[in-house]
Amino acid sequence: MIRSAWLALLVVVAPQLASSFEFRIETALTPRERSKADQILKEVSQALPTEMRKSLPQTFKIKFKNIPATKDRERLGVAEMFFNRIVLNEKFLSPTADSKLFNELNFKKALAHELAHFYDQANVAKPRLKPLVSYCEGRPSYEGQRPSELCEALKRKSKTISDDPEFKALAGWVDSASGTERVSSFTRRLPNPYAASAPHETFPVFFESYLFEPDFACRMPAVNAYFNDHFGVRNSANCDSQMSWYLPGEPKPYRTISRDRIWAIDYFWASEGAAGESRFGHSMLRLVVCAPDRTPGPDCYKDFNDHIILSFGASSENFDFGTVSGVTGKYPLNLHASTFHKIKRQYNHAELRDLYAVPLKLTEAQKSRMIDALYETHWTLNGQYYFMTRNCTSEISRVLLGTGLPLDLAFDLKSTIPSELFTKLLSSALIDRSVNSRSKLQKNALLYFSSSQKTVDLALSLVSMAAGAKVPTIDVYIKKVNDRAFDKLLAKTESNEKLLYAVYFLESIRRDRAMAAMAKELVEKEANVRQTMQEAVAVGAKGAFDLRFPGLFLTNARYGVPTNEEAYEVAGLVTSQIAKDKETHQALIGSAQAILSGVQQSFVDSAGRMDRVVKMIQSKSQSTVQ
């Protein structure tokens, strides 16, 4: 191609901009190439936020050349920081066979991407950070003393978005004790996979889509809100307010709600358990969703049927978790959603643990940012779970950091231990004083849900009095109250209604335990069905593992949260897979039915006792009505 020498130095000035800067093209161009370059440079200049233009160098040298890199992203352009130069691929000016890669949209994005690298190094501290930066700069320093984590973060934040703790939290980069831990937690559904190649590439990739893709605000709403706040602009879109949450194991696993019906967000803590892995409790979040017929307000706390519990948890293909694998990040990490009643049943009844809901005192902007961040994470997070460093609590701390809280508060709340975060929250400015202690929470029936242990103890005391011998635990009750003892006990309930209900409660626990233990007993006691039952258990476990995370059914051809159409398509795929797994599982169970009767007898006996108790309760109820 012939190039005109007199065009070797072309200056393009961004028009009518009070704080303009200029692009100085250093490459000889033909008139046609110059016209195209003029157009793109002008459009990108006009698209840049005003605050960004103020912080960029006054003059940029633009050079076009062939860039024979092996990766598509690197072939587009390179920022040469020392020379204030941006090198772009010459194919943008005359695309041929690579027209799909070197189209006009990618031309604009490549230039915006490289400008973002320059901006990322500029001193662009947010106004709200300046008092804190001044405070840190004025702190006395002592030889050998490590600066506080907060001041170090503020120092980085005043210079670069890529090191901004709030942005990194939204983008999925996690700090470890030794610096930055390179984790592949947000590699799905990105505008460009290159965003996950390094922390300093995430901002430029997101920024180019922020400028030139109209639906970015809907695809990545939390990041969009961060950019709007940072640049002092409002880049929005007419996004659908409906959100689809996946609740595995429910008859209808997909629940669609309008985001404006989420009244509040609570930190939801399950108290310490007896097992080693639960000795510090478990961290969750509760979305206080209003019932369809209720006007959003404080009374939405009564709508337990509509509340959604979110939990960052590990998953295993065989329901078996090993300490070494947990410590070394061998289990996938996802953000799971469950119904309130399912979580209450699990912790209050099955594990006999208390549940505490701690309302977070958020501004509307912070609440909106947190809802968006959780929704994005629910559909895109597929990382690695580390029991000690990246777990249910560290991820909630990360979400809080990305919510726009004051950095000193966000850093005070950083934790990887559930009980520690619970304690920190209760003493923080993020919690109302009326509920800032366990005792205060325990007085509120909407925020505290006690375990069934007290009910168990009361029932056991009534049974002990009737039997004339102490029955100290539910395990002793199940072992000693056999058929004959049960008949005697049931006879005494004729004149003691409290005892009748105590027996009913204890028998319900016996039945639930018998049901849960049945498959295990079959495998242990019946050698000739062991393999079949093991296969059945494996199919069930594998099915649950494959269906743990709805994002696995989404294509990476698009990015961010799914549209309603995509979510609907995923719902169909999941439903189909559930039906297929259930059919396989039932076939395996059916093949062993001929020899199950003896092993199932304990469950059958338990169910029979339950029927007798229920009939007595119904009889008493009818006589009371008459």
Q: What percent of the chain has pLDDT over 70?
A: 73
Same-domain check for residues 401 and 464: no
Last residue of one domain, picked from the residues 394, 417, 449 = 449
160 belongs to a structural domain: no
Mean pLDDT (the chain) is 78
Give the closest residue to 350 by CA, choosing from 481, 512, 475, 537.
512
Same-domain check for residues 515 and 458: yes
Mean pLDDT of 37-51: 92
Q: Report pTM.
A: 0.78
Task: Tell whether the model's pLDDT for residue 290 goes beyond 90.
Answer: yes
* pLDDT, tens digit, 9 for 90 and up, residues 65-79: 888 877 777 788 888
Last residue of one domain, picked from the residues 449, 482, 508 = 449
129 belongs to a structural domain: no
Amino acid letter, residue 215: D
Task: Tell whether the model's pLDDT for residue 588 goes beyond 60.
Answer: no
How many structural domains is the chain composed of?
3
Mean pLDDT comparison of 43-47, 391-395, 487-491, highest-scoring range: 43-47
Same-domain check for residues 323 and 417: yes
Give the closest residue to 106 by CA, choosing from 45, 200, 114, 186.
114
Q: How confident is the model at residue 328 (pLDDT cuts 50, 70, 90)?
A: low
Q: What is the pLDDT of residue 208?
A: 95
The end-to-end CA distance of the chain, in Å, is 102
Same-domain check for residues 41 and 56: yes
Return the number of other C-beta atoms located less than 10 Å from residue 471's C-beta: 23
Q: Which of 62-76, 100-114, 297-311, 509-523 shows the lowest per-residue confidence on average (mean pLDDT)?
A: 509-523
* pLDDT, tens digit, 9 for 90 and up, residues 347-367: 888 788 999 999 999 999 999
Same-domain check for residues 339 and 399: yes
Residue range of the domain that includes 300:
242-449
Mean pLDDT of 26-42: 91
Question: In which element (H, E) is residue 89 found?
Answer: strand 85-89
Return the number of other C-beta atoms located less than 10 Å from residue 289's C-beta: 26
In this predicted model, which residue has the larger pLDDT, 595 or 405? 405
Task: Tell whether the model's pLDDT for residue 265 goes beyond 90.
Answer: yes
Q: How confident is the model at residue 277 (pLDDT cuts 50, 70, 90)?
A: low
Q: What is the pLDDT of residue 355?
A: 96
Same-domain check for residues 608 and 477: yes
Same-domain check for residues 479 and 592: yes
Same-domain check for residues 250 and 353: yes
Mean pLDDT of 125-146: 49
500 contacts 618 by C-beta, under 8 angstroms: no
Cα–Cα distance, 557 to 24 (Å, whole number):
36
Same-domain check for residues 486 and 413: no
